[in-house]
Structures are given as C-alpha cells and as structure tokens.
Structure 1
Amino acid sequence: MSKMDAKPLISGISKPVSQLALGSAFYNVDSKEEWFDILDYYIKVGGTIVDTARAYSTSEEVIGLWMEARSMRERTIIQTKCGITADGYLPAENFPQVVREELTTSLRTLRTDYIDVYLLHRDNQEMPVAEVLEPLNREIDNGRIHAFGASNWEYRRLTEANEYAYKHGIKSFAVVSNNISLAHPTAAFYKGLVSTDKTGEHWHEETGIPLIPWSSQARGFFTGRYTPQMRDDFALTASELDSFTSKMLKVYGTDENFERLARAKELGERKRRYTAVEVALAWLLHKPFPIVPIVGVHNREELASCVKALALTLTEAEIRWLNLET
C-alpha cells in the first residue's frame, strides 16, 4: 500500500503536513460512518490535514465526532474556514465579532479547543487589510488558532497584507487556498472564487508560502465524464443536462481543456496504467513551490488513486506538453 510523506511546512504549525489534504465539503452527519471510513483510510495512508468550513453543512460535526471517537485530535491538522456572506464576500460589518463567534462555533462543533489553520473563506477588497489581520492575530494570542490563511484572495491583496504585517510586527497569512488545476476555468465557478495564475505561482515561489488548492482535479473534469459532444450537441436541452454538468461545460469545456484531458489520458497510458485524473494530480505536485492539493473523494478507491499519483514522475518536456506549450 502506497503512503504519503509528511513534513513540517506551515509557519506556526509543528505537526507534519502530508502531501495531500482531505476535502470534506460534502460530509453529512446522517451518513457519518461512510465518512469515518474515508477518514480512517486517509490516516492509514499517511494523511494529516483535513479541510472543512463553517459553510460546509455538517462537515465540521462529522470531523469532530470522528476525532473524538478515534482520539485523533493531536495527529490531525484541522483547517477550517470562516467569513462568507450570501453574496460571496468576507463580511465587513462587525468583522471581529464574526471571527470570534464563528470560531467559537467551530471549536464547539469540532470538539476541540484550538484550530490548527484558520482560513478566511473569501476576501472583501473594500476592507483595509489591517481590519482583517488584527482580529486573527488576537485569536492567535488567545491560543484559539495556531495559524491563519486566506482562501480566494488575489495576490495583490496578499502582498498588501504581508507587507502590513511585516511593518507592524504581527502575523500574516501562513497559507493560501486558491484554485489551481491542469484544466483552466474560463470563469469563477461560484461568485468570489479565485484561481492561481502565473503571477500567483511566482508569488508562491518567491515567498515560500504554501498553496493548499481546492478543486485540484477540476471538479472531476479529468474523469472523462464531460465531452465535447455534450458541449456541442444543441439537441441536448438544459432540462436534459443537470445544472452542475451545464456549469462544468461552461467553465471547463474549452477546446484547450479537452486537449489537456486527451493528453493526460495518453500520457497515463504511456506511463502504464495511470489515469488522466492521476496524471493531472501529478502535474500539480510537480510545481516548484510548496503545494498540498485538497482531494475530495467519496470512497477508499478514489483516495488510493490520489495517493498512487504521488509516485508518478513527469519530465519537464512532459509537463510542457500537458501545458499545450509543445
């Protein structure tokens, strides 16, 4: 059985960080035993970091129950999120109170007295970075969080926040959780989402701050369940395609992305029994900066496939080919 390596990676966190983080956005307490099994297997294959959020239904509750039942709190890095309005922005009004109250709820739900990594789920560019950073620093001083990060923040804002923190001698973002994958989205899948572009990649190289990307496998695009024929067949009405499929085709269904899919499939076959999904994940793991992709899996087999991708080595020429550069 393949296993992940783990090493210290996040400033403020002494626990080792595994090569893949486990996503839990769809966990539901009504089927908690199903998710307990995946969490158990994730630990068995060397996983250490579990991603969740206040906004993810009963995900925090499932993880809290699992950690309590398995006595796993000190072996697990919990990354949860706060701060998202219905409009897809960080709430500016009473922000310190929002942080305090959402964190209190997360701690209670997760059955713990601290959060390892606390992420802001969105940004609000009308808020000065000082107003964002100061409440988070207070929670570090109180011991309720050990590090904090930003999800769906533009890199200009991240630079501004880090510069402010440096000048004022306070903590700043220890991690970033934006989207990146081999498939390039044409637009944000939901309002307020941010993807890491080439500028962002250079930022991570220069700062050494880890990227913990969501939708690292492009929401299942590389499974092959979405095709150019589905996109181009005008006989398929909106009622015949579910809303998620329609959105996937709109956001990811470009000729370039379908070519990336075809090349990932071809390369996987040449590499002997690797799938396009595994090739796409391996491509991400070859980035020249610290990166811990979040993988959302529904069973042990899918998780084993993700772990298998860790053993796949790609050459620079193969990476350029997947990038459509050659």
Structure 2
Amino acid sequence: MKYMQIEGVNKQISRLIMGTGDLRNLGEPERMMLDAYIQAGGNAFDTAHQYRGREQILGSWLAEKQLREQVVILSKGAHHDDGSPGPRVNPQAIRKDLMESLERLGTDYVDLYALHRDDPSVAVGPIMEELNEHLQAKRIRAIGASNWSYQRIQEANEYAAGHKLTGFAFSSSNLSLAKPIEPRWEGVVSADEDTCRWHAGNQLPLLSWSAQAGGFFSGNFTPEDRSNEEMVRVYYSSGNWERYRRTVKLAEEKQVTPIQIALSYVLYQPFPTSAIIGPRNPEELESSILSLNLELTPQEVEWLDLQREEISK
C-alpha cells in the first residue's frame, strides 16, 4: 500500500480508499472484504450522510474491530437529494448532516469532511464560517469539496485566507482516463484538463470517485454493444475508444490488464491523488493494489490521455 498526507490529518492516508456505497450489510463476504483491505495496509473509508444506512454499518464494524483510531473516515454532507428537496448547501444543512453522521458512525469526529454537492448561488463565506466552527470544535480534522469546480474551491480558499480561516484541504471529484461526455449523475463534477492543470499548480490532493469509469476498461464493453444505456450516454466517444485501445496496447507490453492501467493513470498524476474503490472480492482488491504499484511515466500518462502521439524510447 502507498499513502498520502492531507493537511490537518495526523495519520497517513492510504491512496486506495475503500468505498462503502455498496455496503449493504455485515455478512461474511463483506467482512472478508473489509478485513482483506485492512490486512493489505488500507486505512481509509469513504461514506456519506446520503448513503442510506452505510455510516451505521461502517461504524458498527469499526467498533467491533476497535479500529477507529487507526483508520481515516471520509464522510460527506449537504447533498441536494438528502432530506428536504432542493439545494442544501447552507450552514443549517451542513450542521444537521454532520451531527447525524457522527452519531451514525459512533464517533466524535471525522478525519475528512466534504460537501457532497455545490450550489453556486450560495456565497462561500457562510459555508466556510460554518465548516471552520466544526474544525475548531474538533469534529472535523480537514475539510474538502466534493463535486465543486476548481473555480469555486479557489474562491472559497481565498475567502478563508482573507478571513484567517482554514480552507479546503482536498477535492473529491471524478478523475478517470475515460472522459465523461456528460455528468454520470446530476450535479457531479469531473476533472477536465483545466482542473488537472489547476491541481498540478497548487498540489491540492484529489480523491477520485469512479476512478475506473464504471468498468469502461474492463473489456466488457465494445463500440457495437450499446445495451448499457448509462455507459453509452456517459463514455461512448471516439476519444474514449482510442484511450481504450491504448490501454490494451500498454497493458500487453507490461503484462497487466487494461483496467489496471486505467487505475494507475489516476494514481500517477502530477499532483497528489487517491482512488475510491469498491472491490467485490479480495481478487479485485489485489488488482487495485497492483495498479497502485504499477508505475507509469509522465510520458505514458500523457500518451494514454491522447496528449501525445507516441512514447519516446
């Protein structure tokens, strides 16, 4: 396992973060998966107030294993579709969601806390003031923005700097080798070329969700097979099929799989990154760990992303 640091958190954070969005219960398969992740050196879990019941499941397992102080919890709040309808990015919703998440998780703090969506019509000032109250109260160790544009993150951090507050220490948007034609879900943000350039310039960590693009590079999809409407809508483009062709070629050269190459692409950006993963069994977890240790050169990363025509020897 490899690790990263995020300002405000006094623990190293594994660069493969275990997602809990599909954690339905604590049956034997789920326990095996969680145990395998810990045994592999993983120590970070992604959850959210909006993931119905998942925080309680994670909290129960951590209490049972007595692991709370050894792990990093990333939770999120202020999602539009969570409780009252409509945009909820406001101090009241943030406070409500955070306090409920802490209770569900059975802890008095979360290491990382991100706003799950943005509402650009809301001024950043009251949002940063509210989050800083919870930082001061030590309910949160570091704050971040999930599905915010880099322009809004910069605006929020400039406000924080100008008012002697703590700014966002990380971002959590989609970053994958396959570039979405349109958002996979309403209100989500994917890191485009300008966003990646901004992250490279300031080295703000990016924690990527859907880093493997829903399995686009698994070999289960072809341009002719249009049966999966979501994949067709989001990822079926000529550019992405060329990216797929290149992952296949590089995978053959390195004797790995295309999906491992695609995940490695996310982990070898010129700025700190991690990937939120959702392995269904220990074999898929091992595949992700191999991706983490499969080093790509900057030239290979650029070639995979169609930014150069060949890899210099």
TM class by shorter chain equals over 0.9
Gaps of 5+ in 2: none
Contact between 2:91 and 2:130, CA under 8 Å: does it hold in 1? yes
Counterparts of 1:203 and 1:318, CA distance in 2: 21
1:254 paired with 2:249, answer: no
Counterparts of 1:203 and 1:144, CA distance in 2: 29
Counterpart of 1:26 in structure 2 is 22
3-state SS in 2 of match to 1:14: coil
Normalising by structure 1, what TM-score?
0.90
- What amino acid is aligned across from residue 26 of structure 1 in structure 2? D
Counterpart of 1:234 in structure 2 is none
1:205 paired with 2:200, answer: yes
Which of 36, 39, 46 pairs up with 1:41? Answer: 36
Counterparts of 1:161 and 1:32, CA distance in 2: 42
3-state SS in 2 of match to 1:99: helix
1:80 paired with 2:75, answer: yes
Which of 183, 190, 194 pairs up with 2:189? Answer: 194
1:267 paired with 2:264, answer: no
Counterpart of 1:287 in structure 2 is 269
3-state SS in 2 of match to 1:11: coil
Query: How many pairs align?
Result: 306
Contact between 2:144 and 2:172, CA under 8 Å: does it hold in 1? yes
Contact between 1:89 and 1:124, CA under 8 Å: does it hold in 2? no
3-state SS in 1 of match to 2:207: coil
Contact between 1:226 and 1:249, CA under 8 Å: does it hold in 2? no
Counterpart of 2:99 in structure 1 is 104
Question: After the TM superposition, which parts of structure 1 deviate over 3 Å for at least 4 consecutive aligned residues?
Answer: 87-90
Counterparts of 1:226 and 1:109, CA distance in 2: 38
CA displacement at 1:89 relative to structure 2? 6.5
3-state SS in 2 of match to 1:221: helix
Say which is worse superposed, 9-18 or 315-324, in terms of deviation: 315-324
Contact between 1:20 and 1:292, CA under 8 Å: does it hold in 2? yes
Which of 108, 111, 114 pairs up with 2:109? Answer: 114
- What amino acid is aligned across from residue 295 of structure 2 in structure 1? T
Normalising by structure 2, what TM-score?
0.93
Cα 1:110–1:308 shift into 2, 3 Å: same
- What amino acid is aligned across from residue 211 of structure 2 in structure 1? S
CA displacement at 1:76 relative to structure 2? 0.6
Contact between 2:2 and 2:292, CA under 8 Å: does it hold in 1? no
CA displacement at 1:33 relative to structure 2? 3.6
Counterparts of 1:322 and 1:131, CA distance in 2: 41
Counterpart of 2:7 in structure 1 is 11
